[in-house]
Amino acid sequence: MNTPQQSPSPPDTAGITANLARIHERIAVAALAAGRRPEDITLVAVSKTKPIEAVRAALQAGQTIFGENRVQEAEEKFPLLRQEFPDLQLHLIGGLQTNKARDAVRLADVIESLDRPRLADAIAAAAEKEGRLPRLLIEVNVGNEPQKAGIPTEDADSFIADCKSRFGDKLAGLMCVPPAGEDPRPHFTWLANRAAKHNLNIVSMGMSADFETAIACGATWIRVGTAIFGGR
Ligand SMILES: *Cc1c(COP(=O)(O)O)cnc(C)c1O
């Protein structure tokens, strides 16, 4: 049969709830093993490509912080959910085009992917127009991979300093996605050290496959998608 799908299949609400509980347990174990407090680690649930019903299931299970990597998708899902769940916090974690900066500034509580001077200019201009400025993280291309988002490591110090003087306390920390297929440890450690050097409190690193390692290396925010919502 060739019947068109009217809507995606309903989310596995019980599965999402159980996955969240399991991840919180794993966070606690990893934090304690590293001599850290579990409550010092914040879970960002990455809901990209997942339907609004899946996000709602996570919200009903008590998760309030979500990450999306496309502005348009975030715009389709989150303004509605905010009316139902006023505590909801939206993080934009994907590469951001300057022409999307104004939408991003209007929509997001945190932009984790500030990675170049022209984007900083666009965010500053958008903040002036919108009368609001999200918290900002600088994304560092810790593996200096061509084609990958993030400021190159050699430019990180000066870019961090510029953003600090421009955005003040709204510049909250650093973020990275280390190269696939490599030991992430040296990259995670580099990022944590660089954040400390600049007195930045937030270190956003670690995904489904490596969040425990990231916690061991000093992550304060972890960004987990697949382990909560299933494969994409
Ligand atoms: C998709 C994504 C994640 C989550 O990845 P999972 O492997 O699904 O946990 C985290 N950070 C960024 C920047 C992403 O794009």
* β-pair partners for 67: 46, 91
The reported pLDDT for the residue numbered 10 is 72
Strand 171-176 vs strand 151-152: parallel, antiparallel, or unpaired? unpaired
Smallest Cα–Cα separation from 179: which of 219, 207, 212?
207
Residue 18 falls inside a structural domain:
no
Helix (H) or strand (E) holding 71: helix 71-84
Give the distance (Å) from ligand 1 centre to CA of residue 1: 35
Q: Is the CB of 49 under 6 A from ligand 1?
A: no
The answer to whether residue 105 is domain-embedded is yes
Cβ(46) to ligand 1 under 6 A?
yes
In a domain, 1, yes or no: no
**pLDDT digits 0-9 by tens, 70-101:** 999 999 999 999 999 999 999 999 999 999 99
Hey, what amino acid is at 16?
I
189, containing H or E segment: helix 185-197
Q: Does 16 reside within a domain?
A: no
Q: Which contiguous run of DSSP H or E holds residue 14?
A: helix 13-33
- Which residue from 43, 66, 69, 221 has its CB within 8 A of the most atoms of ligand 1, so it is best to mutate? 69
- Distance from Cα 2 to the centre of ligand 1, integer Å: 34
Q: Is residue 22 assigned to a domain?
A: no
CA distance 103 to 126: 8
Residue 67 alpha carbon to ligand 1 centre in Å: 9
- Is residue 103 included in any domain, yes or no? yes
Which atom of ligand 1 sits closest to the CA of residue 112? Answer: 13
pLDDT at 156: 98
Tell me, what CATH number does 161's domain have?
A: 3.20.20.10
Q: From the CB of 55, is ligand 1 less than 6 Å away?
A: no
Residue-level pLDDT at 8:
55
Residue 2: per-residue pLDDT:
44
Q: Is 42 in the pocket of ligand 1 (CB under 6 A)?
A: no
Domain contains 225:
yes
**122-138 burial by CB neighbour count: b if 16+ within 10 A, else e?**
bbeebbeebeebbbbbb
**Is position 24 within any domain?**
no
Contacts of 167 (CB under 8 A, 6+ apart): 120, 124, 133, 136
219 lines ligand 1 (CB under 6 A): no
What residues have CB less than 8 Å from 142, skipping those under 6 apart? Answer: 150, 153, 176, 177, 178, 179, 187, 190, 191
Of the residues 23, 93, 210, which should be mutated to test ligand 1's pocket, given the most ligand atoms within 8 Å of the CB?
Answer: 93
The total number of structural domains in the chain stands at: 1
Instruction: Kindly give the distance from the C-alpha atom of residue 144 to the centroid of ligand 1, in angstroms, as a whole number.
Output: 18
In angstroms, what is the C-alpha Rg of the chain? 18
pLDDT of residue 4: 43
List of residues 6+ apart from 77 with CB closer than 8 A: 47, 52, 55, 68
Which atom of ligand 1 approaches the CA of 175 most closely? 13
Q: Do you know the residue count of the chain? A: 232
Please report, in tens digits, the pLDDT of each residue of the chain (232 residues total).
Answer: 444 444 556 778 999 999 999 999 999 999 999 999 999 999 999 999 999 999 999 999 999 999 999 999 999 999 999 999 999 999 999 999 999 999 999 999 999 999 999 999 999 999 999 999 999 999 999 999 999 999 999 999 999 999 999 999 999 999 999 999 999 999 999 999 999 999 999 999 999 999 999 999 999 999 999 999 999 9
Residue 130 alpha carbon to ligand 1 centre in Å: 28
Domain range enclosing 152: 34-229
